[in-house]
A and B are shown apart, each in its own frame.
Chain A
Amino acid sequence: MSEGAAPVGRPAGLAHRGGGGLARRLAWRLAVVMLAGVGLAAAAVAWRTIATIRSIDDAALQSQAQLVASQLAAGPDGRPTLQLPGTLAARFRESDDGSFFLVYGRSDHALIAWDANAAAAVGPFVPPPPATGLFRVPPSVDYPEGMLGAVIDAGPWRVVVAQTHEQSQALLDSVLHEFLFSTLWLLLPIGAMTVLIGVVTIVQGLRPLREASEAAACVGPDRPGVRLPEAGMPAEVQPLVAAVNEALARLEQAIDAQRRFFAEAAHALRTPLAVLTARIDELPTAPETAALRGDVNRVTRLVGQMLAMARLEDLPLDLTGTVDLHRVAVEVISDLAPLAIRRQVELMLTERERPPPIRGNAAAVALALTNLLDNALAYAPAGTAVEVELAAPATIRVSDRGPGVPAAERQAIFARYHRARGARPAGAGLGLAIVAEIASAHGGSVWVEERAGGGAEFTLDLGGMLRVAAAEERSGDLAPLRRSRGQGVLSRRPDHGASAAPGESRDDDARRLPISSPTQAASTIGS
């Protein structure tokens, strides 16, 4: 459980953006489909209308030809005579679009023509006998629309009725016009409604997902019991939510098991130590008793530090709390003041201004400061002062007047089981490694410098989380839980260049670089 558990709070932002995208995508596609559908429907209606109008035209022409044929009679010279009833003649007269008729004999010249000009124009295109039926006359100067005609047999004669296309064209135009306006006005609101309903459905359907994302953002090492709500979740997403919840349950079990293990380990190790300590306290004062007491103290320290280190390594640190550096410093200094007085070292806190609260784990920061002060008190000569200095935004500096740390060891002292030359025998070599681990968990770093005037000056910079927090607030993201293990640099000064800046070195190997090999570590414990 290291990098895998890192971006716990991420899904909130992703789901948010994804939801908007889905709705927008659906709206676009529906709109395109609707418009294409309207266009296709218009085209189909137009095509059908044209066909219908044409067939109406055709039928009308044929029936007119029949009417004309029924009025034909053979004259004495064998030529046909036509007695048009008034109504029929009026119909031909009134049709200003040039409906007219011709009557042919068996030869190809007209015997009767209603309109001579038109007869001349139509004549060449009349299908020769015995064909009957419809025919078309291509557009000409006099009849730019062309003409439509019908020819039927009427006894010995053939009757031709023709009309210009103007009438059918006008009808078609008006029908299309009518259709486009009335139907479009009907179709557009329906289309808009469809798009709207689709978008609303998507947005509402995704709302449970967004709620689940918010719940997921709350899951952290301190609250592994949180589960995503499954109620109201769309059926398509339910398997995902169920799977995530199962994974969360397994995570919770793992964290619980680790917690129990450490609690039991602490109990198993510390209870016999407590008995031993109490028994030694019963012994009469003697040099041997003092030596025994020193030994037990050493083992106690070792056990405490190893437990703390193991916990830091194996349990995620909850960084969602706020840390008031002033309060932490006052508490830790108060705890260590009796020790400082026994060692005749003055302990003091200076702060030019109170640093603002930061995000992190107050108990862990207190442990880090305790270890730094422990270290300083161990090396500070009697009669000198150990100074704790707080600086905004999130820096704790611990300075002493001890021998200082040689330049060559300034990185190595933060490695596990490192033993400084001349270190007091009680040291387990883990105190500063724990500080470094806590600093890196907060996205910060710790380093040591030579203090002006002699001594060591340790700086614990917890500013890394601040930057993370600021970035999150800017993006409006709810990702408070970030385990930045493997990030940050243990023991480098920030002015060593951008490559060493906290949070930029993601290389786990770089972090482990200063740590001794296991065999070395083992021999250090044994010595």
Chain B
Amino acid sequence: MRLLVIEDEPALAGLLRGVLGRAGFAVDAAEGVAGAEDCLRLADYDAVILDLGLADGDGLALLRMLRGRGQALPVLILTARDAPEDRVVGLDSGADDYVVKPFHSEELVSRMRALLRRPNAALGVDLTLGNVTLHTTTRQLQVGVAPVTLSVRETSLLEMLLRRSGQVVPRDTIEEGLYGFDNPATPNAVEVLVHRLRRRLQDAGATIIVHTIRGVGYLLAES
């Protein structure tokens, strides 16, 4: 996993290299737009951490240029701009996540991992949380060392939750992801499915738990 950190504050850039390096990422740092362009030309990165207020230009312009070129690599904006409108503009410009400074190292690392866990992103094969591992290609679930059998829908639900672990997955998203137009969800189908998944994880001794955010969705976290 190779990351490019574009940050013009040297102290922060150094700290970011340290934090992300210890988390297992290879990190290059660029101080500005020009340096970042050089790096992006020379190497393939799995994701970019982008500061917006750079000394030699606007990070948003760089992001738009990247997206304009059809570059799909995940971009996490890390900025001091905290006005609510800024966040909207950032995401609209093609950022995948938006983190306002200051941030906690753990949070940044976990959000970076979440970005890379997204479908088609670099970390796509094995999804792990706690003692639970889902092999997305073989659709096999392992809790601890023991394999556990789930129904097709339960597996899909678990995958959705694992890909965004620590974040709320809206109920609507789950319904759309699990039930097609031909086979619409019955009113409490998702509740029943979550209930079954919870029991299976519990029975298997999993150290993860599905939290219900009533009226909103579900959140998977380590217990």
Contacts and interface: CB of A to CB of B under 8 A. Distances in A.
Interface of A: 262-263, 266-271, 273-279, 281-282, 296, 300, 304, 307-308, 311, 318, 329-330, 333-334, 337-338, 341, 346-351, 361, 363-364, 366-367, 388
B81 interface: yes
Interface of B: 9, 11-12, 15-16, 18-19, 53, 80-85, 87-88, 100-106, 166-168, 170, 211, 213-217, 219, 221
A275 B88 contact: no
Contacts of A351: 215
Given A330-B216, A337-B216, A349-B214, A274 B168 contact: no
Nearest to B84: A363
B102 A274 contact: yes
Nearest to A348: B214
Given A277-B103, A277-B104, A282-B18, A338 B170 contact: no
23 contacts: A263-B53, A263-B81, A270-B80, A271-B9, A274-B101, A274-B103, A275-B11, A275-B15, A277-B105, A278-B15, A278-B16, A278-B19, A278-B105, A282-B19, A308-B82, A311-B83, A334-B213, A337-B168, A338-B219, A338-B221, A346-B214, A350-B214, A363-B87
A275 B81 contact: no
B104 to A, nearest CB: 6
A311 B82 CA distance: 11
Contacts of A270: 80, 82, 100-102
B98 to A, nearest CB: 11
Nearest to A340: B213
A243 to B, nearest CB: 30
B88 A334 contact: no
A334 B164 CA distance: 12
B167 A334 contact: yes
Tell me which of B53, B80, B217 has the highest count of chain A C-beta atoms within 10 A of its own C-beta: B80
B213 A348 contact: yes
A348 B214 CA distance: 5
A341 B81 CA distance: 27
A347 B104 contact: no
Contact of B211 (A262, A273, A337): A337
Contacts of B87: 363
Contacts of A364: 84
Given A282-B18, A348-B214, A349-B216, A275 B221 contact: no
A387 to B, nearest CB: 9
Contacts of B16: 278
Nearest to B217: A334
B83 A276 contact: no
A333 B214 CA distance: 10
Contact of B216 (A296, A333, A366): A333
B105 to A, nearest CB: 4
B35 to A, nearest CB: 18
Given A334-B213, A349-B216, A267 B106 contact: no
B162 to A, nearest CB: 16
Contacts of B100: 270, 304
B179 to A, nearest CB: 19
A333 B212 CA distance: 12
Given A274-B9, A334-B216, A348-B214, 17 more contacts: A269-B80, A270-B80, A271-B12, A271-B80, A271-B101, A274-B103, A277-B104, A278-B105, A304-B100, A318-B85, A329-B216, A334-B170, A341-B221, A346-B214, A349-B214, A350-B215, A388-B215
A333 B213 CA distance: 8
Given A333-B213, A364-B84, A366-B84, A273 B53 contact: no
Contact of B15 (A269, A273, A282, A349): A282
Contacts of B219: 337-338, 341
Given A333-B213, A334-B216, A341-B211, A363 B104 contact: no
Contacts of A267: 53, 80-81
B112 to A, nearest CB: 14
Contacts of A307: 82
A268 B9 CA distance: 11
A270 B86 CA distance: 15
A296 B103 CA distance: 11
B134 to A, nearest CB: 21
B170 A330 contact: yes
A269 B11 CA distance: 15
A261 to B, nearest CB: 12
Contacts of B102: 270, 273-278, 296, 300
A337 B161 CA distance: 14
A255 to B, nearest CB: 13
A296 B104 CA distance: 11
A300 B104 CA distance: 11
A349 B103 CA distance: 28
